[in-house]
Amino acid sequence: MVDDPDTSARSLARAISSDQVLTARVLKLANSSFYGFQQKVGTVSLALVVLGFQAVKDLALATSVTRAFRNVASDPRFDMRAFWNHAVSVGVASRHLSRTLRVGAPGEAFTAGILHDIGQVVLREYHPDAFEEALRLAAAEELPIHEAETSVLGAGHPQVGGWLCRRWNLPDPICRAVEGHHGPFGGAGASALASIVGLADHLASVDVERGREMGQDLDPDCLAVISAVGSTVAMADLPLLLEGTRAEVERCSDLLEAFR
């Protein structure tokens, strides 16, 4: 409906309002510090006015996809609470980097960041034994988890997440970003949005993983792709970007509640 130029605000608001849970989450997001509106947003119609069609589409998309996994229980091997904390952090960081570095649409960056690791949930839910084996392999040999997944299963969570996004007919830039957030970033099919999400994921991981050095394991092609289409960014700029993303994630801490 958002992509149809003949769609009216009234008809779009009516469609969203027909889903009570989606309505509640969109309003919670609209009133979060993520957007920072001083006026209380009490209706979907007002959310459309103050946020715009595209932003509401991004919110509806992100919340609808995460709802599909709302019944996945946490266990000692895979902490779903930590998973969503990281997902929201990367979503916020991706939006911030998209704006700061002038790459792509911030709304799409937010959605792609939220969904970047969704393939892990699929693997954990449908192939639990193999996924646990991949986790053990990653820990034992100090491998990135997507490499361990590929070794055990033949595909990693980026590919699985990309397949799922395409199965759900999500926008192609989001599918490519989810699929490519661990690289490779260069080449003819380079995705600037994948590079933004990859950088956001790296910065969010630096924030939570003790002992991980700034820039460690970050493919330089990630920064090269961003520099080619947006603001020039180098390894020396990472500390300042980390400071900015940390501040943005902290400012938007209440956003997580909308995804629980």
CATH code for position 82:
1.10.3210.10
Which phi and psi (to 5°) does residue 168 adopt?
Answer: -90, 5
Domain presence at residue 185: yes
| 78 and 37 within one domain | no
Which phi and psi (to 5°) does residue 78 adopt?
Answer: -150, 105
CB 113 within 8 A of CB 98: no
Instruction: Give the global pTM.
Output: 0.85
What type of residue sits at position 248?
E
| 79 and 4 within one domain | no
Write down the pLDDT at residue 78. Answer: 77
| 184 and 109 within one domain | yes
| 252 and 194 within one domain | yes
| 138 and 103 within one domain | yes
Q: What are the respective helix, strand and coil percentages of the chain, to the nearest 5?
A: 70, 0, 30
Write down the pLDDT at residue 35. Answer: 79
| 134 and 27 within one domain | no
Domain presence at residue 125: yes
| 167 and 198 within one domain | yes
pLDDT in tens, the chain (260 residues): 888 889 998 999 999 899 887 888 788 878 888 777 878 889 999 888 888 888 788 778 777 777 777 666 666 777 888 888 899 899 999 999 999 999 988 989 999 999 999 999 999 989 999 999 999 999 999 899 999 999 999 999 999 999 999 998 888 999 999 999 999 897 777 799 999 999 999 999 885 444 456 667 789 999 999 999 999 999 999 999 999 999 998 887 777 766 66
- For the packed helices 172-180 and 192-208, what is the interaxial angle rounded to 10 degrees? 50
| 245 and 130 within one domain | yes
The maximal CA–CA distance of the chain, rounded, in angstroms, is 56
Q: Domain range for residue 201?
A: 68-259
Write down the pLDDT at residue 61. Answer: 79
What tokens does 39 get? 């006026």
What tokens does 57 get? 């589409």
DSSP state of 255: G
| 28 and 139 within one domain | no
Write down the pLDDT at residue 93. Answer: 95
Number of domains in the chain: 2
Domain presence at residue 60: no
User: Which residues is 78 bridged to in the sheet?
Assistant: 75
| 255 and 145 within one domain | yes
Q: How many CB atoms lie within 10 A of CB 246?
A: 17
| 164 and 74 within one domain | yes
